[in-house]
A = this chain, B = another copy of it.
Protein backbone atom coordinates (compact mmCIF):
# COMPACT_ATOMS: atom_id res chain seq x y z
CA UNK A 1 0.00 0.00 0.00
CA UNK A 2 1.62 3.27 1.03
CA UNK A 3 5.40 3.45 0.99
CA UNK A 4 7.66 3.88 3.96
CA UNK A 5 9.64 6.62 2.23
CA UNK A 6 8.58 10.08 3.21
CA UNK A 7 6.86 12.33 0.71
CA UNK A 8 8.75 15.39 -0.58
CA UNK A 9 7.18 18.61 0.58
CA UNK A 10 7.00 20.01 -2.97
CA UNK A 11 4.99 16.98 -4.00
CA UNK A 12 2.24 17.85 -1.55
CA UNK A 13 1.97 21.33 -2.97
CA UNK A 14 1.64 19.97 -6.47
CA UNK A 15 -0.98 17.48 -5.39
CA UNK A 16 -3.27 20.39 -4.56
CA UNK A 17 -2.62 21.79 -8.02
CA UNK A 18 -3.32 18.45 -9.68
CA UNK A 19 -6.63 18.23 -7.88
CA UNK A 20 -7.57 21.72 -8.95
CA UNK A 21 -6.64 21.09 -12.56
CA UNK A 22 -8.41 17.72 -12.72
CA UNK A 23 -11.55 19.27 -11.28
CA UNK A 24 -11.40 21.93 -13.92
CA UNK A 25 -10.90 19.31 -16.64
CA UNK A 26 -13.83 17.34 -15.26
CA UNK A 27 -16.00 20.41 -15.61
CA UNK A 28 -14.88 20.46 -19.24
CA UNK A 29 -16.07 16.88 -19.72
CA UNK A 30 -12.74 15.03 -19.57
CA UNK A 31 -12.90 11.38 -18.50
CA UNK A 32 -9.19 10.65 -18.34
CA UNK A 33 -6.04 12.76 -18.09
CA UNK A 34 -2.49 11.78 -18.89
CA UNK A 35 0.59 12.85 -17.00
CA UNK A 36 1.48 14.79 -20.11
CA UNK A 37 -1.71 16.86 -20.27
CA UNK A 38 -1.80 17.40 -16.52
CA UNK A 39 1.80 18.48 -16.43
CA UNK A 40 1.68 20.83 -19.36
CA UNK A 41 -1.40 22.55 -17.93
CA UNK A 42 0.66 23.29 -14.85
CA UNK A 43 4.10 23.84 -16.33
CA UNK A 44 5.50 20.60 -14.92
CA UNK A 45 7.13 17.66 -16.68
CA UNK A 46 5.16 14.47 -17.20
CA UNK A 47 7.79 12.50 -15.33
CA UNK A 48 7.28 14.73 -12.31
CA UNK A 49 3.56 14.11 -12.32
CA UNK A 50 4.02 10.36 -12.48
CA UNK A 51 6.61 10.38 -9.76
CA UNK A 52 4.38 12.47 -7.49
CA UNK A 53 1.39 10.18 -7.94
CA UNK A 54 3.59 7.13 -7.71
CA UNK A 55 4.30 7.87 -4.04
CA UNK A 56 0.72 6.96 -3.26
CA UNK A 57 0.33 3.73 -5.17
CA UNK A 58 -0.99 2.90 -8.60
CA UNK A 59 -3.49 5.29 -10.07
CA UNK A 60 -3.34 5.06 -13.83
CA UNK A 61 -3.75 2.70 -16.71
CA UNK A 62 -0.86 2.36 -19.14
CA UNK A 63 -1.91 3.50 -22.58
CA UNK A 64 -4.94 5.32 -21.16
CA UNK A 65 -3.98 7.69 -18.37
CA UNK A 66 -5.67 8.51 -15.08
CA UNK A 67 -9.42 8.29 -14.53
CA UNK A 68 -10.74 11.72 -13.58
CA UNK A 69 -13.57 10.20 -11.60
CA UNK A 70 -11.25 8.03 -9.52
CA UNK A 71 -8.55 10.63 -9.05
CA UNK A 72 -10.59 13.37 -7.46
CA UNK A 73 -11.65 11.50 -4.32
CA UNK A 74 -8.27 9.80 -4.11
CA UNK A 75 -6.42 13.14 -4.09
CA UNK A 76 -8.87 14.62 -1.62
CA UNK A 77 -8.31 11.69 0.67
CA UNK A 78 -4.53 12.00 0.46
CA UNK A 79 -4.69 15.71 1.21
CA UNK A 80 -7.19 15.12 4.02
CA UNK A 81 -9.74 17.42 2.46
CA UNK A 82 -12.33 14.68 2.10
CA UNK A 83 -13.82 16.23 5.25
CA UNK A 84 -14.57 19.71 6.55
CA UNK A 85 -12.28 21.75 8.75
CA UNK A 86 -13.25 24.52 11.15
CA UNK A 87 -11.15 27.66 11.28
CA UNK A 88 -11.32 31.05 12.97
CA UNK A 89 -9.93 34.39 11.88
CA UNK A 90 -8.04 36.21 14.60
CA UNK A 91 -7.56 39.89 13.93
CA UNK A 92 -10.32 41.57 11.95
CA UNK A 93 -8.28 44.26 10.23
CA UNK A 94 -8.04 44.71 6.50
CA UNK A 95 -6.74 41.26 5.80
CA UNK A 96 -8.84 39.41 8.33
CA UNK A 97 -11.91 41.10 6.96
CA UNK A 98 -11.01 40.11 3.40
CA UNK A 99 -10.51 36.50 4.45
CA UNK A 100 -13.84 36.43 6.25
CA UNK A 101 -15.37 37.18 2.87
CA UNK A 102 -13.16 34.87 0.84
CA UNK A 103 -15.61 32.49 -0.81
CA UNK A 104 -13.04 29.91 -1.85
CA UNK A 105 -12.40 28.78 1.72
CA UNK A 106 -15.93 27.58 2.33
CA UNK A 107 -16.13 26.17 -1.18
CA UNK A 108 -13.17 23.95 -0.35
CA UNK A 109 -14.52 22.70 2.94
CA UNK A 110 -12.83 25.16 5.26
CA UNK A 111 -15.55 26.66 7.42
CA UNK A 112 -14.82 29.98 9.02
CA UNK A 113 -16.69 29.54 12.26
CA UNK A 114 -15.30 32.36 14.35
CA UNK A 115 -13.75 35.82 14.30
CA UNK A 116 -11.83 37.53 17.09
CA UNK A 117 -10.43 40.99 17.75
CA UNK A 118 -9.48 43.33 20.57
CA UNK A 119 -11.13 46.52 19.31
CA UNK A 120 -14.33 47.37 21.13
CA UNK A 121 -15.65 49.07 18.04
CA UNK A 122 -15.37 45.82 16.08
CA UNK A 123 -16.41 43.31 18.74
CA UNK A 124 -20.06 42.37 18.37
CA UNK A 125 -20.27 43.39 14.72
CA UNK A 126 -20.90 40.78 12.06
CA UNK A 127 -18.32 40.26 9.32
CA UNK A 128 -19.05 37.64 6.69
CA UNK A 129 -20.94 34.96 8.59
CA UNK A 130 -19.29 35.62 11.91
CA UNK A 131 -20.03 37.71 14.93
CA UNK A 132 -16.72 39.11 16.13
CA UNK A 133 -15.85 38.00 19.67
CA UNK A 134 -13.16 39.14 22.11
CA UNK A 135 -9.74 37.57 21.86
CA UNK A 136 -10.05 36.54 25.51
CA UNK A 137 -12.97 34.35 24.51
CA UNK A 138 -10.78 32.18 22.31
CA UNK A 139 -10.23 29.48 24.95
CA UNK A 140 -13.94 29.08 25.55
CA UNK A 141 -15.14 29.37 21.96
CA UNK A 142 -12.36 27.25 20.51
CA UNK A 143 -13.81 24.27 22.29
CA UNK A 144 -17.42 25.24 21.75
CA UNK A 145 -17.02 25.86 18.01
CA UNK A 146 -14.49 23.05 17.56
CA UNK A 147 -11.92 25.36 16.00
CA UNK A 148 -9.07 23.40 14.44
CA UNK A 149 -7.14 26.17 12.67
CA UNK A 150 -6.39 29.75 13.60
CA UNK A 151 -5.96 32.22 10.77
CA UNK A 152 -3.67 34.83 12.26
CA UNK A 153 -4.07 38.39 10.94
CA UNK A 154 -3.03 40.47 13.94
CA UNK A 155 -0.21 43.04 14.03
CA UNK A 156 3.27 41.57 14.09
CA UNK A 157 3.95 42.86 17.60
CA UNK A 158 1.31 40.64 19.20
CA UNK A 159 1.49 37.70 16.79
CA UNK A 160 3.45 35.37 19.06
CA UNK A 161 1.31 36.15 22.05
CA UNK A 162 -1.94 35.49 20.20
CA UNK A 163 -0.46 32.34 18.66
CA UNK A 164 0.32 31.09 22.16
CA UNK A 165 -3.29 31.71 23.10
CA UNK A 166 -4.48 29.70 20.10
CA UNK A 167 -2.14 26.84 20.94
CA UNK A 168 -3.29 26.77 24.53
CA UNK A 169 -6.87 26.76 23.29
CA UNK A 170 -6.10 23.56 21.43
CA UNK A 171 -5.94 24.49 17.74
CA UNK A 172 -3.92 22.10 15.62
CA UNK A 173 -2.60 24.50 13.03
CA UNK A 174 -2.06 28.19 12.31
CA UNK A 175 -2.23 29.93 8.97
CA UNK A 176 0.06 32.87 9.65
CA UNK A 177 -0.49 36.08 7.69
CA UNK A 178 1.89 38.07 9.87
CA UNK A 179 5.56 38.54 9.02
CA UNK A 180 6.48 37.21 12.46
CA UNK A 181 8.08 33.78 12.80
CA UNK A 182 6.04 31.81 15.29
CA UNK A 183 7.46 29.54 17.95
CA UNK A 184 4.98 26.77 18.63
CA UNK A 185 5.23 23.31 20.09
CA UNK A 186 6.07 20.33 17.90
CA UNK A 187 2.43 19.19 17.80
CA UNK A 188 1.29 22.39 16.08
CA UNK A 189 1.81 23.21 12.41
CA UNK A 190 2.29 26.64 10.94
CA UNK A 191 1.99 27.67 7.32
CA UNK A 192 2.91 31.26 6.55
CA UNK A 193 1.69 33.61 3.86
CA UNK A 194 3.95 36.62 3.59
CA UNK A 195 2.95 39.42 1.21
CA UNK A 196 6.07 41.55 1.55
CA UNK A 197 8.30 38.55 1.09
CA UNK A 198 6.46 37.71 -2.12
CA UNK A 199 6.92 41.24 -3.46
CA UNK A 200 10.59 41.15 -2.58
CA UNK A 201 11.02 37.89 -4.45
CA UNK A 202 9.36 39.51 -7.44
CA UNK A 203 11.68 42.52 -7.30
CA UNK A 204 14.67 40.19 -7.27
CA UNK A 205 13.43 37.99 -10.10
CA UNK A 206 12.54 40.92 -12.28
CA UNK A 207 15.97 42.46 -11.83
CA UNK A 208 17.79 39.18 -12.33
CA UNK A 209 17.15 38.95 -16.06
CA UNK A 210 17.93 42.56 -16.71
CA UNK A 211 21.30 42.89 -15.09
CA UNK A 212 22.14 39.21 -15.05
CA UNK A 213 22.19 38.53 -11.27
Contact = CB atoms under 8 A, between A and B. Distances in A.
Contacts of A199: 85, 87, 105, 108, 110, 149, 175, 191
Contacts of A43: 181
A30 interface: no
Nearest to A100: B94
A51 to B, nearest CB: 17
Given A98-B97, A187-B209, A204-B79, A104 B195 contact: yes
Interface stretch (A12-20, A59-67, A159-167): A12-20
A196 B108 contact: yes
A98 B197 CA distance: 17
Contacts of A202: 149, 173-175, 189, 191
Contacts of A200: 16, 79, 81, 108
Interface in A42-87: 42-43, 78-81, 85, 87
Interface of A: 2, 6-7, 12-13, 16-17, 20, 41-43, 78-81, 85, 87, 94-95, 97-99, 101-102, 104-105, 108, 110, 148-149, 172-175, 179, 181, 187, 189, 191, 193, 195-207, 209, 213
24 contacts: A16-B196, A16-B197, A16-B201, A41-B181, A79-B200, A79-B203, A80-B206, A81-B200, A81-B203, A94-B98, A94-B102, A97-B98, A98-B98, A102-B195, A105-B195, A105-B196, A108-B200, A110-B203, A172-B206, A173-B202, A174-B202, A189-B205, A189-B206, A191-B205
